Chain A
Amino acid sequence: MLDASITAGAELTVTSVSLSFGGHRVLKEVSMDFRPGQVTGLIGPNGAGKTSLFNCLTGLYRPQQGTIALGGEPLERLPPAQRARVGLSRSFQHVALCPELDVVENVMFGRARLGRSGWADAFLPLPAGRAEVEESRAAAMEVLRRLDLAAYAETTPAGLPPGTQRLVEIARAIVSRPRVLLLDEPAAGLNPAETRQLMAVLRGLVSPDLMIVVVEHDMDLIMQLCHRIHVLNFGQRIATGTPEEIRADPEVIRVYLGDSDD
């Protein structure tokens, strides 16, 4: 069992990962790590390769070279559906909630893989299946309360503001108590008030058992939220450090602001 062999608090490491599409190298021997108890930002200009690296972490892309490991166990061969089982969870750049399910059911879906109820429980009112659904509902409600979303539990997501939908997605992602939370541009489409609320929620999630990885364009959010930041440019990691170190890094300044003699 892969998940049993991974010790709690283990790092997520990316080692010499390279990815090409039709001869075009979008990631060139990228190495970096993500630590438990921290929010790690992944930034870079457009085309830097951060989305490609994110997709390698989630399993959507399979790198041609290099390894991705959680607690020393290789992940790069696991399809996306199996990465959830070892403790990876994610949100999407474009909110991917089911419009037919109400908010609490969308969050309950986040725990579905933990369920043990069989097909008979799905159709018949058997005690074990009913107990599991109630347990799942209670866990979902607890997370919704924690994120101040309990008032929306019985509503459908379509009518909620974008910021609230994003928080529901995060609730769905954390309800199964993942060990890695991958957030794909969580502030995209949010107004400043919603972004502040998102930041507060994400700060509240920080715990020694969870590593949070954020791919984001909003530099204010990244600088205020992250403990560490990795910067990519043209498929290569050019800097790693605290927000202060990144702000002062000449290479990062050059990439984001251009050369002084340009």
Chain B
Amino acid sequence: MPEAVGVVTHAVTGEARPLPRRLASWVALVVLAAIPAVAGGFWTYSVGVCMANAVAVLSVGFLLRYGGEVSIGHSFFLAFGAYCTAILERQLGLSVGIGLPVAAIAGAVLGVAFAWPSRALSGIYLAIATMALALAVPELILQAGPVAGGYEGLYVSRPLVPGLSIELQRYYLPLVVLGLVVLLLARFRRSRQGLVLLTARDHPRAAEAFGFSRGYARLAAFAISAAVASVAGSLLAFSASTVSPNSFTLSTAIYLLVGTVVSFGSLGLIGALAGGAFITLVPQVFAAWGDWVPIIYGAALLLVITLGHRPAEVLAALRARLAGGRRDA
């Protein structure tokens, strides 16, 4: 038995996060907090939306990590949160300060409402079921009538704190909420419920034998994921100042999945920001390339995934090339 001592390293996802990653998160927060002071309005707007998208990436990543399932339909919950915030402002004059928590709670309920009938599905079958949600979103919004603003959508213009610059609020609210969501999810990993969901993901029969049914695990994972997605939708509505059916199509859902892949399923700040930046900033940075944008996007995605999955091998090969050497077959 003693031969295994010292062989196994501590799980990277364990209780104590390695110091460099924690430091990198704090540095990223400081840099993000300084952006509005040093960058122009375009970047303040874009990075604000990027952070809202980072929260959306976390929602898909949570389902993948704790439920072991892939969603191609989280644009549904994103749209729900966004419209929840916009409609509460338009109909009742309530700001995002109310809209956001309402979206979170109602999003969790909606997540349960979807997860219950689909609790027996998994893998590709569940993914396709979620895709049906994404396909239905634009039509559902249009069928909702004038309350949802039709094709033109709705504006979100009421500030969270009256008297302060709305542009700055549109930037700093996503930053604060992103930081909070990362902290809350890190706490969840150490909780009793976190242990249950992770065990149920890998060994559902073991979870059942210890008192937790598969249905419980599925509903819990979906409820939390949908709540986070609704919060992201609320932030997107506030940061982008507008919501419309075109913002929540099947492509949106697929981009969220792409963002999750780019973040490597991380539920940390840096990973979520990488995913959010990839789906927000890459299309903007290459906007001038016109029809080439999808090709550049695809190539960039391939590069990120290859580098991320096999960083040591790829860097070693690059180094060998730069040194004029030849890579062994």
Give B41 Cβ to nearest chain A Cβ, in Å: 35
The stretch from A69-77, A97-105, A209-217, A225-233 touching chain B is A97-105
| Residues A156 and B8 in contact, CB atoms below 8 Å apart | yes
| Residues A96 and B206 in contact, CB atoms below 8 Å apart | yes
Give B82 Cβ to nearest chain A Cβ, in Å: 23
| Residues B199 and A123 in contact, CB atoms below 8 Å apart | no
The stretch from B129-137, B187-195, B278-286 touching chain A is B187-195
User: Smallest CB-CB separation from B65: which chain A residue?
Assistant: A100
User: Smallest CB-CB separation from A193: which chain B residue?
Assistant: B1
Q: Which single member of A79, A109, A110, A112 contacts B213 (CB below 8 Å)?
A: A79
B216 / chain A contacts, CB cutoff of 8 Å: 81
| Residues A117 and B1 in contact, CB atoms below 8 Å apart | no
Give A54 Cβ to nearest chain B Cβ, in Å: 12
| Residues A98 and B203 in contact, CB atoms below 8 Å apart | yes
Provide 21 A-B residue pairs closer than 8 Å at the C-beta atoms, listed in order of the A residue: A59-B208, A80-B208, A81-B211, A81-B212, A82-B211, A83-B209, A89-B209, A92-B206, A92-B209, A98-B195, A98-B199, A98-B203, A100-B11, A110-B210, A112-B195, A113-B212, A121-B191, A122-B194, A156-B9, A164-B4, A172-B210
| Residues A161 and B4 in contact, CB atoms below 8 Å apart | yes
Measured CA separation A109–B194 after assembly (Å): 9
Give A237 Cβ to nearest chain B Cβ, in Å: 25
| Residues A84 and B210 in contact, CB atoms below 8 Å apart | yes
Name the residue among B4, B10, B191 with the largest chain A CB count within 10 angstroms. Answer: B191
For residue B198, CB closer than 8 A to chain A, the reply is yes
User: Smallest CB-CB separation from B204: which chain A residue?
Assistant: A96
Give B64 Cβ to nearest chain A Cβ, in Å: 13
State which residues 117-159 of A face B: CB under 8 Å. Answer: 117, 119, 121-125, 129, 132-133, 136, 148, 151-152, 154-156, 158-159
Name the residue among A85, A98, A99, A102 with the largest chain B CB count within 10 angstroms. Answer: A98
A163 / chain B contacts, CB cutoff of 8 Å: 1
A59 / chain B contacts, CB cutoff of 8 Å: 208
B209 / chain A contacts, CB cutoff of 8 Å: 58, 80-81, 83-84, 89-90, 92
Measured CA separation A148–B5 after assembly (Å): 12
Give A225 Cβ to nearest chain B Cβ, in Å: 19
Per-residue interface assignment for chain B, residues 190 to 228, with 1 indicating a CB less than 8 Å from any chain A CB and 0 otherwise: 111111101101110110111111001000000000000
Q: How many residues from B make CB contacts under 8 Å with A?
A: 36
Give B92 Cβ to nearest chain A Cβ, in Å: 27
For residue A250, CB closer than 8 A to chain B, the reply is no
| Residues B205 and A92 in contact, CB atoms below 8 Å apart | yes
B196 / chain A contacts, CB cutoff of 8 Å: 109, 112
Measured CA separation A204–B202 after assembly (Å): 30
A80 / chain B contacts, CB cutoff of 8 Å: 205, 208-209
Measured CA separation A152–B213 after assembly (Å): 29
- Interface of B, helix, strand, loop or mixed by DSSP: helix
B interface residues, Cβ below 8 angstroms from A: 1-5, 7-11, 13-14, 184, 187-188, 190-196, 198-199, 201-203, 205-206, 208-213, 216
| Residues A159 and B8 in contact, CB atoms below 8 Å apart | yes
For residue A195, CB closer than 8 A to chain B, the reply is no
Measured CA separation A110–B184 after assembly (Å): 24
A133 / chain B contacts, CB cutoff of 8 Å: 190-192
A197 / chain B contacts, CB cutoff of 8 Å: 1
Measured CA separation A113–B3 after assembly (Å): 33
| Residues A101 and B191 in contact, CB atoms below 8 Å apart | no
Question: 20 additional contacts, CB 8 Å, given A83-B209, A109-B199?
Answer: A58-B209, A81-B213, A85-B211, A96-B202, A96-B205, A98-B195, A98-B203, A101-B198, A106-B199, A112-B192, A117-B192, A123-B191, A148-B1, A152-B8, A155-B4, A155-B7, A155-B9, A160-B4, A172-B210, A197-B1
| Residues A122 and B191 in contact, CB atoms below 8 Å apart | yes
- Given that A122-B187, A133-B190, A156-B8 are contacting pairs, would A100 and B3 also be in contact in the complex, using a CB cutoff of 8 Å? no
B198 / chain A contacts, CB cutoff of 8 Å: 98, 100-101
Measured CA separation A190–B84 after assembly (Å): 57
For residue A32, CB closer than 8 A to chain B, the reply is no
Give A183 Cβ to nearest chain B Cβ, in Å: 12
Q: Which single member of B188, B202, B211 contacts A113 (CB below 8 Å)?
A: B211
| Residues A152 and B4 in contact, CB atoms below 8 Å apart | yes
A110 / chain B contacts, CB cutoff of 8 Å: 210
A100 / chain B contacts, CB cutoff of 8 Å: 11, 13, 198, 202
Q: Which single member of A98, A112, A159 contacts B202 (CB below 8 Å)?
A: A98
Q: Which 6 A-B pairs have the closest CB atoms?
A: A113-B211, A159-B8, A84-B211, A155-B8, A122-B191, A96-B203
A99 / chain B contacts, CB cutoff of 8 Å: 202
- Given that A92-B206, A98-B202, A112-B192 are contacting pairs, would A152 and B211 also be in contact in the complex, using a CB cutoff of 8 Å? no
User: Smallest CB-CB separation from A90: which chain B residue?
Assistant: B209
Measured CA separation A92–B203 after assembly (Å): 10
| Residues B8 and A136 in contact, CB atoms below 8 Å apart | no
Give B184 Cβ to nearest chain A Cβ, in Å: 5
Q: Which single member of A79, A136, A148 contacts B192 (CB below 8 Å)?
A: A136
| Residues B192 and A122 in contact, CB atoms below 8 Å apart | yes
Give A109 Cβ to nearest chain B Cβ, in Å: 4
Give A101 Cβ to nearest chain B Cβ, in Å: 6
Give B58 Cβ to nearest chain A Cβ, in Å: 13
| Residues B210 and A112 in contact, CB atoms below 8 Å apart | yes
Give B206 Cβ to nearest chain A Cβ, in Å: 4
User: Smallest CB-CB separation from B16: which chain A residue?
Assistant: A154
Give B210 Cβ to nearest chain A Cβ, in Å: 5
